[in-house]
Amino acid sequence: MGDFTRRLKHDLGQIQAYLHMGAPLSISTDEKERLVGDSLELMRRIDDLSESFLTVGLLGGTGVGKSTIMNALAGSEISSTSHRRPHTDHVIIYRHRSAESSPDMMNGRILSHEIVHDADEIRQIVLCDLPDFDSLVGEHQLKVLTFLEHLDVLVWVVSPEKYADKRFYDFLNKVPKASQNFYFVLNKADIFFEGKSIGAGYEELGKAMVRFEEHLHENAVTDPSIFAVSALEAGEGGKMSAWNQFGAFRSRIFEHRDVKEIRSIKAANLDVEVDRFMSSLRKELAGLQVVRKALADFIGDFEGEKELWVEAARDSFAVYLEERFRNYDVWMLSDPHSLVGPGYAFGVAAREWRGWWRGRGADGSGEGAGAGRDAAASLRSRFDRIRDRMAHQMLVQGLPSAVVQRLETLLDTDAEWEKAADRLQRFFELRVATYRPRPAFGFKLAQYVIYLVLFACFILALAGGQDAWRQLRDQPLWSGLLDTAGGAVTRIFTPGGLAALASYLILQVYVGFRFFAFHKKSLQRKMQKFIESLRFELVKVWEEELDLLANRMTEFDRELEKQSAALSALCEARLKE
């Protein structure tokens, strides 16, 4: 017996450990709290198995004669009776003076009345007459069901009119007790003999007993103990009819049982109640297995399609960036100080012109923004498809809506998309805001050299051309330079000087424009490289977001695997016992 109770306590401990392990999929929060509370109560009752008295309860519908049976069993009138409708107003508890009153039974959750007796031959028996179950609804029925946990043996009383009542069997199936501790009494069996011969009465009684047993078999009571009685005849104290099994019934209820047998009866009832817990957990295990299979299939599909999703993102970003930068002037991203002389003037003029034109709204920026929203919507639909596909798979598997909602909460695509979109947007803005082409020092030096050469040629042309060049070559450096400069000044306003000045200015403008065009093409090439690198980096960010989502689903699967392993071990151990 000690091993049996230790096993029950171990099983309950495992059940409690699982319930505290995490949030079950198929068990609501309220049901989880109820199961935890009930398991603690069961643990306490297992500790109380040392009690050496047996609690017997009488259950039945209205008018089946429970009170009459109680009176006949106890030998005195302990509950009210009525010829029209026998009933009990309270739970009547009939105990020997040596049996201590149970505080759990007298806790006020259900009205009760206690009667103490001194009949030593039944000192180990506590009788309880319960209210008619078919007169109870809602909260009152729940209170009676709760009271039944204190009973070790249940006597189910029916009459010829009510042994086929569906409400009787519905109530029978709600009671968490071992069916081997059930006794069934067909009271008022004398009805079968009224106005009939003994043989005809026995035939009618036999048919009723067979039908009653068939009904019990249909409701999972495989080997019922059934007694056909007339409690009214037994209570009169005279000789009972041969068919009246009340004496055998009374002997079976009041037979002497040693402490070991009483504990065995109590433990069997507790074992059935533990099995009720296990039924909820087996349902949870089945749900876990279905969810894990669907989740594994989904993760496999997700990994298989990931490259397609990345390719879709690559195309979306390409369209977005092309639209975003199609009319975006590279001069808005760079400082024209990379140019000098007339080239710088062209750069400043181009920048100011683009600024004025953009201010009029003619730069195509609206189209770029629209394309960005379209690309975002395309990627958003991918996230929504994840949630919809998972929900569809769960519903196809027939999982409860609560499970589907739990998974939808896990795959909160709205929140995930907002995080992904926010990360992409911040990354994009940061890269654009910090982009600056590297300074082209060589390009700037080349401009200075060419402009200086043009200026030198202009001065020599003013000073006299080849003669000035020979003079500069033959004279000392500084005196030659001064003579050349003086000659240029004296000739600048001559027709030849003005022609040289015009040629010089035209060459300056032409060379400056060429430098401006070269610099712009260089910036465009750099911009294209920047766009390519930006697209590559945005795709990497998108891949990371997909990996995070896949990792979260994998972590969830590992959590389910851990729960499933714990439940499976518990259920297998329970089956072996």
Tens-place pLDDT, residues 38-92:
777 777 766 665 556 788 899 888 889 888 898 888 765 454 444 333 444 578 8
CA-to-CA separations, 498 to 452, 503, 508, in angstroms, rounded: 19, 9, 15
513: confidence class by pLDDT, cuts 50, 70, 90:
very high
**Per-residue model confidence (pLDDT) at position 284:** 78
Please state, in angstroms and rounded to a whole number, the distance separating the CA atoms of residues 22 and 566: 12
Least confident of 180-189, 201-210, 439-448: 439-448
pTM (2 decimals)? 0.49
Return mean pLDDT, the chain: 75
**Per-residue model confidence (pLDDT) at position 231:** 92
CA-to-CA separations, 480 to 489, 500, 501, in angstroms, rounded: 14, 21, 22
**Per-residue model confidence (pLDDT) at position 326:** 60
Please state, in angstroms and rounded to a whole number, the distance separating the CA atoms of residues 469 and 451: 19
pLDDT at 363 over 50: no
| DSSP bridge pairs for 186 | 158, 228
Give me the mean pLDDT over the 500-504 stretch: 82
* Contact (Cβ atoms closer than 8 angstroms) between residue 246 and residue 229: yes
**Per-residue model confidence (pLDDT) at position 112:** 76
DSSP state of 135: G
229: confidence class by pLDDT, cuts 50, 70, 90:
very high
Please state, in angstroms and rounded to a whole number, the distance separating the CA atoms of residues 275 and 533: 63
DSSP for 219-275, please give it: TT--S-EEEE--HHHHHT-SPPPTT--HHHHHHHHHS---HHHHHHHHHHHHHHHHH
Name residue 360's amino acid.
R
Spell out the SS3 assignment of 151-204.
CCEEEEEECCCCCCCHHHHHHHHHCCCCHHHEEEEECCHHHHHCCCCHHHHHHH
CA-to-CA separations, 137 to 131, 132, 134, 142, 290, in angstroms, rounded: 11, 11, 8, 8, 37
User: Which ranges in 326-465 belong to alpha helices (H)?
Assistant: 342-359, 365-396, 401-410, 413-434, 441-463
Tens-place pLDDT, residues 120-147:
777 778 888 888 877 766 666 777 777 7
23: confidence class by pLDDT, cuts 50, 70, 90:
low
Q: Distance between terminal CA atoms of the chain?
A: 14
Domain ranges within the chain, ordered by starting residue: 53-257
Residue 471: which residues within 8 A CB-CB, separation 6 or more?
464, 480, 483, 484
Tens-place pLDDT, residues 283-329:
778 878 877 887 788 788 878 878 888 888 888 878 777 776 665 55
Is the domain covering 53-257 a CATH 3.40.50.300 domain? yes
